[in-house]
Chains A and B, each alone.
Chain A
Amino acid sequence: MFEGDDVRPPYARLQDWTKGMPDGLRHMKQAEAEALFRRIGITFAVYGEGGDPDRLIPFDMFPRVFTAGEWQRLDRGIKQRARALNAFLVDIYGRGEIVRAGRIPGHLVYRNAAFEKAVVGVVPPKGVYSHIVGIDLVRTGPDDFFVLEDNCRTPSGVSYMLENREIMMRMFPDLFRENRIEPVDSYPALLRRTLASVAPMKCRGEPTIVLLTPGHFNSAYYEHSFLADMMGVELVEGQDLFVEGEYVWMRTTEGPKRVDVIYRRIDDAFIDPLCFRPDSMLGVPGLMDVYRSGGVNICSCPGAGVADDKAVYTYVPEMVRFYLGEEPILKNVPTWQCARPDELSYVLEHLDELVVKEVHGSGGYGMLVGPKASKGQIEAFRGRIISNPGNYIAQPTLALSTTPTFVEEGVAPRHVDLRPYCLVGDRVELVPGGLTRVALTEGSLVVNSSQGGGVKDTWVLAE
């Protein structure tokens, strides 16, 4: 927020806004926002962990702001990265030129747990494997953005981007009158358009799109039903679908109806029990056969996860150069691969300065934040790394930017990251905004909702 001692220009007006806001009003608005979230049912369902099954993600009313100029650069960088990631996927499930050219080690790709042999040789419609690319970014300086990780399978949280905006507009209409804020509400329409644009080869006429959810016990179920609703497509579970002949069908009150595009929010392993996990109750037997023969498209395609692996991540700038012949606009965080002996010894010597993550971990689990960890925690983690070095990567703790956040004592800086959602179909599109997650605990760098992080509205100002 600050530039030296001065408030950065986009925040100046907001600073006046908070100064003028009495404590009583702030608490009232906060309670109002929470009541709205609860009423609408925007909860983060956590079943089987005890406590409140309908937990709210803390919502911070202080928005995060980007100027038009800042956003343009991000917009270009994100689209570039999403294009490169898709080119990579098409390549490695095809000729594998990037490996042959020696630009990325073959074992990282072909021995990767997320690599799906079942899709080798499949060229999905429009050559797109990952249709919704969520890229997690942090900022370290006025013009420095680093990519923390890529999410090429089923990035979640976009419903918060939309609902946070909805609730801010409802609570503070004046702020929106005074500031020129780019709208984000076209996202569901763009998503629908994107999915329709990748209809499978055998589809005739207007494609039938469905959203496949694991069911209402899933923590992201609200988001699944919200998106299906906003797009006007059926929200289906595996049991609603079946394969017959060359197609996938859904069970309806009028008999079977053909399905052309499946936006799946279940993991690869559960998609088809005949192909992947035989014990899956969530998927559809035979779905992969139909997929491979062009009877249905699955978004994102099975196997897309090989591109968002934390070990493969290191090579994304290389992908941008290799496939697009461009210089990457967004930087990677310097990353040490524990699989490499020299890098491993550096990591082990500097554990107290580094963030160490599991290659396949998510949600802030299985990670070590060196500067915040106790001696005991560091030693315990050291043992885990040594016993399975290939499972870990390490990164420096960057001087992450903070944004003003409402806390008990007033407004204070807290660390944030940003996840914009890039849509890839026959076009590559990005709405001006994303999900800002905020570490509500002072000094904390962990923003995951499962670790006590909160969310806030993200503004892109119009020129």
Chain B
Amino acid sequence: MLSRTAEKLFWIARHMERAENMARLLEVGARISLLPTVQGYRSEWDSLLQASGTADGFARKYGDPVARNIESYLFFDRDNPSSVASCLTHARENARIVRTALTTQVWDALNIAFQELGQLERTPRSELELTRLTDWVTRTAAVVRGAIMATLLRNDGFDFLNLGYALERADATARLIDVKYYVLLPRVEFVGSGLDNYQWMTLLRALSLHRAFHWSYAGDITARKIADFLILNPQNPRALITSTEAINAALDRIALAYGRQTESQTRARAMMSTLSGADVEQIFDEGMHDFISRFIGDVALLSGQIWEDYLTGDVR
């Protein structure tokens, strides 16, 4: 397929996944703000901005993190390239460019999302509950993903979409874990405390995974169990290992279809073997932040490698 087409598909998926993660993050913020904590309201919102990588942009535009401004910045603001509105608009514009690589149903789902976004933007903010917004995003993302699964040809285009989804998801989960560890809970004496566990649970809620966690790990909530769940449990759809598996599966299908292995496969395989060889004790011994930072770095390198191997159009 045209390299440009593959690139647009890859980015449609990344933008859709990013929009969904942004909405999930906002939901956590809303939830945290409802409850008193020892650190207070402000720094919790601040940690959200840190987690989404938008703290600097926000500070330049608004200064202090006020809940309402944060909501605007993360949801509606076109100046913020990672806002829900920016992501959905990019996804739809890319889809328009590669209409020929999508089914009517997938296009429909993206186009309707874009039109509904326009309606939301025209609605007075006082009439918009945050939960209504975030529910709308997760539902929209599910409709798009569902249309892709149900109607798209299982060709390389499908693989590049899945690759985009999986890479973005791996990155997002890793960043959320990192934020928990590095930003939310800066002092080591809190580890294992009630606050620590509460924050972990909030994280699980953000990922819509708190019930799943209870099914998988009956009994107490501990940092180790949750870390195991988010990083190493292949049953968890958003775990690092599950996303990495999906990256490998998509790349393997592409290699098979093209009859050609690339450096991308090698890198992805190395990431997979690191994860499948790890256990949660080791990770804690090494230091969670270091482990996660390395993973985020690997995702970025792999993304660049995929660009070189498939998307530049200079492949020989």
Chain B binding surface, main DSSP class: helix
**Cβ of A331 < 8 Å from any Cβ of B?**
no
The one of B2, B260, B312, B315 in contact with A236, judged by C-beta atoms closer than 8 angstroms, is B2
Question: Chain A interface: which of B92-100, B143-151, B218-226?
Answer: B92-100
Contacts of B316 in A (CB 8 A): 255-256
Tell me whether A254 and B100 are in contact in the complex, defined as CB-CB below 8 angstroms, given that A39-B112, A41-B107, A240-B313 are known contacts: no
CA distance A216 to B94 in the complex (A): 9
Asked whether, in the complex, the Cβ of B4 is within 8 Å of the Cβ of A251, the reply is yes
Q: What count of chain B residues pass the 8 Å CB interface test?
A: 29
Which residues does chain A contribute within 8 Å of B6, judged by CB atoms? 253
Smallest distance from the beta carbon of A160 to chain B beta carbons, Å?
A: 16
Q: Check B314 for interface membership: any CB of A closer than 8 A.
A: yes
Query: Could you say which residues of chain B place their CB within 8 Å of the CB of A254?
Result: 258, 260, 315
A251–B314 touching, CB < 8 Å? yes
For B314, the closest partner residue in chain A by CB is: A251
**Contacting A41 at CB < 8 Å: which of B2, B4, B99, B314?**
B99
**Whole-angstrom CA separation of A253 from B7 in the bound complex:** 9
Are A225 and B100 in contact (CB-based, < 8 A)? yes
Complex partner residue of B310 from A225, A228, A250, A253, CB under 8 angstroms? A253
Interface status of B111 (Cβ within 8 A of chain A): yes
- The count of chain A contact residues (Cβ–Cβ below 8 Å) is 24
Interface string of B231-259 (1 = CB under 8 A from A): 00000000000000000000000100010
- The closest CB in chain A to the CB of B97 belongs to A216
Q: Which residues of B contact A256 (CB under 8 A)?
A: 316
A 206-231 binary contact with B (CB < 8 Å = 1; else 0): 00000000011000010001101100
Q: Which of A229, A234, A253, A255 contacts B99 (CB 8 A)?
A: A229
* A39-B112, A41-B99 known; A251 vs B2 contact (CB < 8 Å): yes
Residues in chain A near residue B1, CB distance under 8 A: 234, 252-253
Complexed CA–CA distance, A133 and B207 (Å): 57
Whether A216 and B96, one on each chain, are in contact in the complex, defined by CB atoms closer than 8 angstroms, is yes
A253 engages B96 (CB within 8 Å): no
- A residues whose Cβ falls under 8 Å from a Cβ of B: 38-41, 215-216, 221, 225-226, 228-229, 234-237, 239-240, 250-256
**What residues of chain B have their CB less than 8 Å away from a CB belonging to chain A?**
1-6, 93, 96-97, 99-100, 104, 107-108, 111-112, 115, 156, 160, 254, 258, 260, 310-316
12 A-B pairs with C-beta separation under 8 A: A41-B107, A41-B111, A216-B97, A229-B99, A234-B5, A236-B2, A237-B4, A250-B2, A251-B312, A251-B314, A253-B3, A253-B310
